[in-house]
Amino acid sequence: MTSIINVHNSEKKEVISRHIYGHFAEHLGRCIYEGIWVGEDSPIPNTRGIRNDVVEALRKLEIPNLRWPGGCFADEYHWKDGIGPREDRPSIINNNWGKVVENNHFGTHEFLDLCEQLDTEPYICGNVGSGTVQEMQEWIEYITFDGKSPMADLRKKNGREKPWKLKYFGIGNENWGCGGKMKVEYYADLYRRYQNFVRNYSDTPIYKIAVGPSEADYHWTEVMMREGTDRTEPFPDEVVTDIWEHHRPEMDGIALHYYTRNRANYDSATEFTEDKWFDYMKRTLVMEELIEKHTAIMDKYDPEKTVDLIVDEWGTWFKVEPGTNPGFLYQQNTLRDALVAGINLNIFNNRCDRVHMANVAQMINVLQAMILTEGEKIILTPSYHVFEMYKVHHDATLLPVSVDTGTYEYGEDSVPILNVSASQDDSGKVHISVCNLDPNHSEEITCNLEGIGSFSSVSGRILTAEAMNEHNTFTDPNRIETKAFNEAELRDNVVSLTIPSKSVLVIEVQ
């Protein structure tokens, strides 16, 4: 059977926010230390302590935002530990991740320097679990206030005259779990209180992100949407001045966390057979259902869509690589991870009416990483290549697709063969990203673009391999990388092609 993809024009003209392509870097294992921060005296080439090879590779992804410092680490992080002369900063225990020493050499200034080097927007996650309201308020003041104040003066004393631009701020992380084991009713009140003191000191208002549900915890979403914010306007517009700004609890986004993993028995990242290929495709597709059900609750309380869904932790979670610290979450990354990335990103694109931002966990050396490092060496993972290919969707207009495809069957179970999203950029080019979940069969595709425009050429790029578990290693760093795909034909605005088994393909039509 041939699969049919019909690409539609939508009157809504929804934009796929580039922030869907965000990343996450936590003080966990070798993500920050070694992966990013090597210190100014390191033999590894660096700029003010941040490694140049990693920055150079990540800049190619045009990362829109970077979430930091956690994760679970965020709710034990006291930001004042990480400012001032490095030799005076306290060494603390990283309680969540291996109980190793955290010397605080990478703090607020270093993170914001990294964001400037990457040309990306910071997304800082504040401490609700063990931090005070005052501490959170002062952090915002330290980073963003351009006048005279104790925190602005402290920042200047520490070498930064001008404030930084900060838009995205999280009010805690997983406060249902590592962030304090709270009930949602309690967190909803805390959210209202903490966010109240997150002031706007610049002409970039802070975009406040509430802790949202874990996976299918629909009760959490229900209570947060009902009680965490108040959408009734208590004053007429003309009297809503700065004075009243903080009288209404505000929520710009609510976070959802969902990992593709088998919690009952964490599997190997590289050693697997088809059962585990199928299993992880199926687990990934659950993201679609979660977004649908959480957004249905959001729609009930917020039909005007003033609150965004922020999937600020997603990705694969496997058993750590043999011989590595179990608390460091270091895993390899194969073609299977590339499919997981491609499918999730397609799902987010297709739901960009609510999903404003997403952050893959994590950027380097942790979970579904873009880059792995070993001393001075780095390798780019298959997931990196998917993010690079999908850049074409950043801020492009969504073109809804209807996909008529068969099923990839395994045992008694099945999933759709294809997973697809499409967009049109400002220059009129159309990009269609297609994942073939079937590891055994290629699939013929007819893709109909009638009504979208008049097109004269088609090209493409593909990521695939012979083996399901193909991955790059430090001795063989380019085993799996993208290639040109020249086998698509275009006639009368219809593209015909055969997508190889187990592949991620991005087609460009112009």
Residue 72 engages ligand AHR in binding (rule: CB under 6 A)? yes
Q: Which H/E stretch holds residue 123? A: strand 121-125
342 touches ligand AHR by CB under 6 A = no
Judged by CB under 6 A, the stretch of 66-74, 339-347, 431-439, 454-462 that binds ligand AHR is 66-74
Q: Hey, what are 174's tokens?
A: 């997983």
| Helix (H/G/I), strand (E/B), else coil: 241 | coil
Q: Which two tokens stand for residue 411?
A: 């045992």
Q: Between 170 and 439, name the residue whose CB sits nearer to ligand AHR.
A: 170
Size of the site for ligand AHR (CB under 6 A): 10
Q: Does the footprint of ligand AHR cover residue 173 (CB under 6 A)?
A: yes
Q: Which stretch binds ligand AHR (CB under 6 A): 44-52, 65-73, 146-154, 482-490?
A: 65-73
**Rounded least distance, CB 181 to ligand AHR, Å:** 13
CA distance 6 to 4: 6
71 touches ligand AHR by CB under 6 A: yes
Beta bridge partners of 358: 311
Q: Which is nearer to ligand AHR, 23 or 431 (CB)?
A: 23
Instruction: Pick from 174, 337, 443, 470 the residue near ligand AHR by CB under 6 A.
Output: 174
Single-letter amino acid code for the residue at 81: D
Report which residue's Cβ sits closest to ligand AHR.
Answer: 71
Does the footprint of ligand AHR cover residue 76 (CB under 6 A)? no
Residue 75 binds ligand AHR (CB under 6 A) = no
Paired sense of beta strands 418-424 and 430-436, if any:
antiparallel
Nearest distance in Å: CB 173, ligand AHR = 5
CB nearer to ligand AHR: give 118 or 360.
360
Give the range of 288-296, 338-346, 359-367, 413-421 binding ligand AHR by CB under 6 A.
359-367
End-to-end CA distance of the chain: 27
Interface with ligand AHR, residue 102, by CB under 6 A:
no
Q: Which is nearer to ligand AHR, 5 or 367 (CB)?
A: 367
Of 26 and 138, CB closest to ligand AHR: 26
Using alpha carbons, select from 249, 55, 86, 212 the residue that is nearest to residue 158: 86
Q: Cβ closer to ligand AHR: 24 or 277?
A: 24
Count of beta carbons in the 10 Å neighbourhood of residue 445: 25
Identify the residue whose tokens are 């080097």.
117
Considering only 201-209, 360-368, 445-453, 471-479, which stretch makes contact with ligand AHR by CB under 6 A?
360-368
Q: Are 260 and 315 in contact (CB under 8 A)?
A: yes
Residue number, 201 or 314, with CB nearest to ligand AHR: 314
For residue 71, the minimal CB distance to ligand AHR (Å) is: 3
What separation in angstroms does the CA of 305 have from each of 225, 332, 501?
Answer: 12, 38, 38
Distance CA 238, CA 243 (A): 12
Cα 16 to Cα 171: distance, rounded to the nearest angstrom: 25
- Taking contact as CB under 6 A, which single stretch among the options 64-72, 238-246, 345-353, 391-399 is the one that binds ligand AHR? 64-72
Host H or E run for residue 422: strand 418-424
Least CB distance to ligand AHR at residue 317 (A) = 8
The helices-and-strands tally (H runs, E runs) of the chain is 9, 27
Of 97 and 384, CB closest to ligand AHR: 97
Query: How is the chain split among helix, strand and coil, in percent rounded to 5?
Result: 30, 25, 45
Rounded CA separation 143/160 (Å): 9
Alpha-carbon distances of 400 from 6, 88, 339, 481, rounded to whole Å: 9, 55, 20, 28
Task: Identify which range of 6-14, 68-76, 395-403, 446-454 contacts ligand AHR by CB under 6 A.
Answer: 68-76
**In terms of CB distance, is 138 or 313 closer to ligand AHR?**
313
Residues recognised as catalytic: 174, 313
- 40-54 exposure pattern, b = at least 16 Cβ within 10 A, e = fewer: eeeebebeebbbeeb
Q: How far apart are CA 71 and CA 361, in angstroms?
A: 9
From residue 412 to residue 451, the character string flagging contacts with ligand AHR as x (rule: CB under 6 A) and all else as - is ----------------------------------------
Instruction: Report the distance separating Cα 64 and Cα 172, nearest Å.
Output: 21
Among 3, 25, 26, 102, binds ligand AHR (CB under 6 A): 26
Sign of CA dihedral 177, 182, 184, 188: negative
Among the residue ranges 69-77, 157-165, 268-276, 400-408, the one whose residues contact ligand AHR (CB under 6 A): 69-77
Report, in Å, the least distance between residue 282 CB and ligand AHR.
21
Residue 12, token pair as written in the block:
């809504």
- Select from 361, 369, 435, 490 the one that contacts ligand AHR (CB under 6 A): 361
Q: How far is the CB of 424 from ligand AHR (least distance, A)?
A: 34
In the window 296-325, what residues touch ligand AHR (CB under 6 A)?
Answer: 313
Q: Are 165 and 204 in contact (CB under 8 A)?
A: yes
Q: How far is the CB of 321 from ligand AHR (least distance, A)?
A: 16
For residue 89, give the nearest of 110, 66, 70 by alpha carbon.
110
- Give residues in contact with ligand AHR (CB under 6 A): 26, 70-72, 173-174, 313, 361-362, 367
